[in-house]
Amino acid sequence: MQLASLKLNPRADNRIRAGHMWIYSNEVDNKSTPLKGFSAGEQVVVVSADGRAMGVAILSPNSLICARMISRSDKQQLTRKLIKRRLQDAIALREMHYSDDSYRLCFGDSDGLPGLVVDRFMNTVVIQISNPAMENLKDEIVDVLDHLLEPNTIVLKNDGKMRPVEGLPVYVDVVKGELDEGFARFVENGVQFDAPVLEGQKTGWFFDHRDSRAHLKNYVQGKRVLDVFSYIGGWGVQAAAFGASEVICLDSSEFALECVARNAVLNGVDDRMSTIQADAFVGLKALADQKEKFDVVVLDPPALIARRKDIKVGEKAYQKLNQLALRLVDANGFLVTASCSMHLDRDRLVNIVQASARQVDRTVQIVEQGHQALDHPIHPAIAETEYIKCLFARSLKSW
């Protein structure tokens, strides 16, 4: 099929030649190739201002990021064959590192499939699509994954917030097999979980901190642990499984805490776990007012800086949270503090922890730093694909 051309403005091709995959709407020559003349999900040949073909992209003509490159060849279109090859490459990478069949199988742009996220929960595969071109090929994506993995269950979890922006319908559909009560069982770091893939956040789980959660084992043996923003117990249940004497999970969601209890029973650690349903800021303050102390406090909030314009307000929120958390850390204990905000860089998180420590008259030592797990590869030209930060900070009486 002959593809139409999308022409770029002068010098707008520099980022693409350097390896970036995104084209912004203000980089398009709208006189020669007006975006309104294209349909959502259409594939085009991207050409520079001087007419040189740069490859094939998939279009979202009404979005700020109006096109995403899928190939540097103007002959290679997004087809079932290409999807299969790139998913095979993605699976091969994960199988190098993980033997439990539980991982993020596809991480969008970083795996050459923009707008496609796939999580594997052993015999269940959950697919999230946020791009019109991928939506057009969803049947092929399902078929390829079914052929490659032969899972018992495949779920289309297409309820992400970007879908309405792209003009896509919101829905959740089990397209193969069935789920027991909407949960998918899997293993992370040797610990079993049931992920609520139908009703939970995103795909039901967040694999991106799995490597840092594995390192938690070195800090919690025989310790009292508080897991804040616990969701379904990713940190807390693993802390208990790793030998913590007591774990409290704090979250604002009753459903999430019901899942914590379910996963605690699943691993036989429910006798050492309890939950608190509260807003994190309110719950942390209440625990401090009660003079509670913990050997380890885990702080893994959702993204508090969604957009660049939110940086100032978001940084204040991070500092308040870390300050409240440090009040609860016993002398020589540890604060494990994380951020999934792309707009908060690692150095700034370090500065926030340091400032928070001074506010509560503590000295901190950063003894370990965590990064996103190996199943979340980073595209070196796309800063947005590197977003996870985690610090293991020892809290000492002020020097």
Q: What are phi and psi of 173, to 5 degrees?
A: -145, 125
Q: Is the pLDDT of residue 1 over 80?
A: no
The pLDDT, as a whole number, for residue 353 is: 97
Level-2 CATH architecture, domain 4-71 = Roll (2.30)
For the 206-397 domain, the top CATH level (class) is: alpha beta
Residue 276's SS3 state is strand
Q: Please report, for residues 210, 272, 375, 379, the alpha-carbon distance to residue 116 in angstroms, rounded to integers and kept in the order given.
A: 21, 39, 14, 15
Tens digit of each residue's pLDDT (9 = 90 or more) over 274-315: 999 999 999 999 999 999 999 999 999 999 998 889 999 999
Model's pTM, two decimal places?
A: 0.95
* CATH 3.30.750.80 domain locations along the chain: 80-184
Residue 23 β-bridge partners = 67
Q: How confident is the model at residue 350 (pLDDT cuts 50, 70, 90)?
A: very high
* CATH 2.30.130.10 domain locations along the chain: 4-71
Instruction: Specify whether domain 80-184 bears CATH 1.10.3720.10.
Output: no
Q: Please report, for residues 65, 73, 81, 342, the alpha-carbon distance to residue 382 in angstroms, rounded to integers and kept in the order given.
A: 13, 20, 25, 11
The pLDDT, as a whole number, for residue 398 is: 81
| HSE-up of residue 225 (Cα within 13 Å, Cβ side) | 31
* CATH 3.40.50.150 domain locations along the chain: 206-397
Q: How confident is the model at residue 349 (pLDDT cuts 50, 70, 90)?
A: very high
Tens digit of each residue's pLDDT (9 = 90 or more) over 69-113: 999 999 999 999 999 999 999 999 999 999 999 999 999 999 999
Average pLDDT of the residues of the chain: 96
The pLDDT, as a whole number, for residue 82 is: 98
Q: What percent of the chain has pLDDT over 70?
A: 100
Q: What is the DSSP string of 200-262?
A: SSTTS--GGGHHHHHHTHHHHTT-EEEEET-TTTHHHHHHHHTT-SEEEEEES-HHHHHHHHH
